[in-house]
Every structure is written in structure tokens, then in C-alpha cells.
Amino acid sequence: MAEFKERGALLVTDPRGNGDLVSRHAEMAQLDLPGNVPADLRRYFDITRLLWVYGALAFPFFGWADLHARVAVECALRRRLGQDQVRTSLRALLRGAIGHTLLTDDSLAGFHESIDTQLEEKQLEAEVREMATFLGVPAEEQEKFQSLVESLVGPFAEARNLGVHEGVATHHTPEDTKETIKLARVLIIRLFQ
């Protein structure tokens, strides 16, 4: 658990943060949202990116940045689907965006830069299809198991719910949280294309 820093140590980097403010800022500076995204959502996302930057000083900020990246997507989904005032789960909002074809596999193509990540995804897809076959899921329904977008819905929503209802975990690594922020950015951009 993080402790409240003494005044003299406020700008001392957290050794777990694995970086300094300048290098962290440079990594997040390139992940801004375009002008077609509503200004209030861009500001919220900017604060999320700053939380990640300040993780260099206080490691738990990475967990907060992860949570707020997911909340930013939830806010974008509510806005885009016209459900600002409706009490709907993130999972239902994501499924609604998929149903309205606002989020598709094609729109997320190329999200991951590394070949290793793409190979891991293909392996995971094969394992999920194998499990679906084992469980007796009809072939026509197995297609949804192959969808990258569909595979994001459950884990993305579950991680957000855990962060909100059970408290932000301190085990978020800078790299994992950066991937969440990058994914949130892509989802938000796709919603407002």
C-alpha cells in the first residue's frame, strides 16, 4: 500500500514506476484524442493520461489511470449511444455499440503493433474456439467467439467493475496500463468517426 509522501519526497520517482516524468510524458503525449471527440471527453482522457504520467511518482496512479481509461470509454459509449441518463452497464453499452456496428473487428484491426501480440491473440482465439466446440456450441454461434471486439467486452467491463466496486488494484504495471489507455483511445476514436 502506498503511503502519503512527505513534502520533500513529492517529486522523487517511485522505483516501481520504472521511469521519470519526462519520459512518461513523452509516451502519453502522442496518445491524444482528435478534435472530433467531444471536448469534455478529451479533457477526461487527458486527465487519465496525466495519471499514467504521474505513476512515475506514485505507482498506484497506474491503477487509477487504468480504471479511468475504462470509465472514459464508458462515458464515450453513453454519449454516442444517447444513453447519458440511462443506467446501463458497461458490458451492455459495449454490446450496444457492437450491435450498431460502431465497433467492429475491422475498426480495431492493427491496434496491436507487435507480431507477438497478434500471434498470442490468434492462439487465444484458437483455444476459445476449441473450448466452444468442446462445450457443444453450435458452429454458427462459434463465429462470435472469433470476434476480437466480442472478446474485449467481458474482460474490459469486468476490469472496470472490479476497479469501481472493489477498489483500484495496485498490481497494474505501467506497460499493461498503457495498453489499456491505447485501447481506450482507439475505442473512443472509433465511436466518433
Confidence band, pLDDT 50/70/90 cuts, at residue 9: confident
Q: What is the model's pLDDT at position 111?
A: 64
Work out the burial of residue 193: count CB atoms within 10 Å of its CB; fewer than 13 is exposed, 13-18 middle, 19 or more buried: exposed
Average pLDDT, stretch 163-170?
Answer: 69
Measure the CA–CA gap between 76 and 80, rounded to whole angstroms: 6
More confident residue, 171 or 177: 177
Measure the CA–CA gap between 145 and 133, rounded to whole angstroms: 11
Contact 184, 70 (CB under 8 A): yes
Contact 61, 55 (CB under 8 A): yes
- Sorted by sequence, the CB contacts under 8 Å of residue 146 that are 6+ apart come out as 125, 128, 129
- Global model pTM greater than 0.85: no
pLDDT in tens, 74-132: 999 999 999 887 788 888 999 899 889 998 877 776 665 544 465 566 666 666 666 66
Measured at the alpha carbon of residue 109, what is the angle toward residues 31 and 138, in degrees to the nearest 5? 135
Q: In the chain, pLDDT over 90 holds for what percent of residues?
A: 38
Measure the CA–CA gap between 135 and 59, rounded to whole angstroms: 41
Q: In what helix (H) or strand (E) does residue 95 lie, and over which residues does it extend?
A: helix 90-99
Q: What is the model's pLDDT at position 36?
A: 96
